């Protein structure tokens, strides 16, 4: 039976004893991972290289590169084991990639039109969508010319990540999984991206966020409610923001020895 929050509704995301392995064969990478994200909550997952962080993000969004070998994932109370990536996205799950894909020949505007149609069944005209995008670009401090550029083609690292925040704003997901969004960003670009995430949260306070990261600096900006430490495919510790400070100060040795 699914857990419920104080208002009687299930959490946005419930992961229970999740186990997953490469689809090509091999041992489990996730080995009994359990966590829950409620509406409006920001959860961070930290861990050393090879602990399973990016595998978790891929499994949550239905990547065919992995197979679930045990446990369950529920989204808004529904078991999503049989849902493909498209169905998960349409239902309101969003993944900001560590390395966003470049799509030459497809403009940011056209990509968002197709994605919004899949997400909400809304076939906006290019003019209607452009007006909506322009409003968010102004709020996020993005050059309006950005809309007509090919998706991530020639974008800097910061531009790619800001484009993902723009997608998150337009698509209005229920859950955003940020997979090492801080990867490759200098401190100014990181603050710009974090500011954009806060702007989206201000507009959608019920948005749940699962932030996967190596570093304290992003968490200083996003201020998570709960920090989870992932080691060897399982959560070995959970706590408040102070846990990320301990990890930053001490490293992972206490939990990996």
What confidence tens digit (pLDDT) does each residue in 77-119 have? Answer: 999 998 998 899 889 998 876 655 656 677 878 888 888 887 8
Instruction: Write down all domains in the chain, each with its CATH number in brackets.
Output: 13-99+153-256 (3.40.50.300)
Q: 36 or 133: whose pLDDT is higher? A: 36
Spatial CA neighbour of 5 closest among 229, 213, 14 = 14
CA distance 111 to 151: 7
Percentages helix, strand, coil for the chain (3-state, rounded to 5) are: 40, 25, 35
Buried b (16+ CB within 10 A) or exposed e, 49-62: eebbbbbbbbbbbb
Q: 67 or 160: whose pLDDT is higher? A: 67
pLDDT by residue (tens digit) across 200-231? 999 999 999 999 987 788 888 889 999 999 99
pLDDT-based confidence at 155, cuts 50/70/90?
low
pLDDT-based confidence at 161, cuts 50/70/90?
confident
Across the range 65-72, mean pLDDT stands at 96
> What integer pLDDT is reported at residue 1 of this predicted model?
41
- On average, the pLDDT of the chain sits at 85
CA distance 222 to 102: 27
CA distance 161 to 156: 9
The torsion defined by the Cα of 111, 113, 114 and 120, in degrees rounded to 10, comes to 140
Q: How far from chain centre, in Å, is Cα 109?
A: 21
Q: Where are the alpha helices (DSSP H) in the chain?
A: 53-60, 85-91, 108-120, 126-140, 157-171, 187-203, 216-222, 241-250, 253-256
């Amino acid at each position: 039976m699914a857990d419920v929050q104080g208002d009687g509704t299930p959490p946005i995301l419930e992961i229970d004893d999740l186990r997953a392995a490469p689809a090509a064969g091999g041992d489990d990478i996730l080995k009994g991972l359990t966590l829950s994200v409620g509406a409006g909550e920001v959860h961070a997952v930290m861990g050393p290289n090879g602990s399973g962080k990016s595998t978790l993000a891929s499994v949550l969004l239905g990547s065919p590169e992995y197979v679930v070998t045990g446990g369950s994932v529920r989204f808004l109370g529904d078991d999503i084991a049989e849902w493909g990536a498209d169905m998960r996205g349409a239902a309101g799950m969003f993944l900001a990639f560590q390395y966003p894909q470049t799509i030459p020949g497809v403009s940011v505007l056209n990509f968002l039109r197709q994605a919004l149609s899949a997400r909400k069944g809304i076939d906006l005209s290019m003019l209607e969508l452009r007006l909506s995008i322009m409003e968010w670009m102004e709020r996020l401090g993005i050059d309006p010319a950005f809309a007509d550029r090919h998706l991530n083609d020639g974008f800097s690292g910061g531009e790619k990540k800001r484009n993902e925040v723009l997608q998150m704003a337009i698509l209005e997901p229920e859950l955003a999984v940020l997979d090492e969004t801080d990867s490759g960003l200098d401190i100014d670009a990181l603050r710009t991206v974090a500011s954009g995430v806060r702007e989206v949260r201000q507009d959608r306070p019920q948005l749940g966020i699962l932030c996967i990261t190596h570093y304290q600096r992003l968490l200083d900006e996003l201020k998570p409610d709960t920090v989870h430490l992932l080691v060897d495919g399982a959560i070995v510790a959970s706590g408040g923001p102070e846990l990320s400070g301990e990890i930053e100060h001490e490293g992972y040795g206490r939990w990996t020895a």
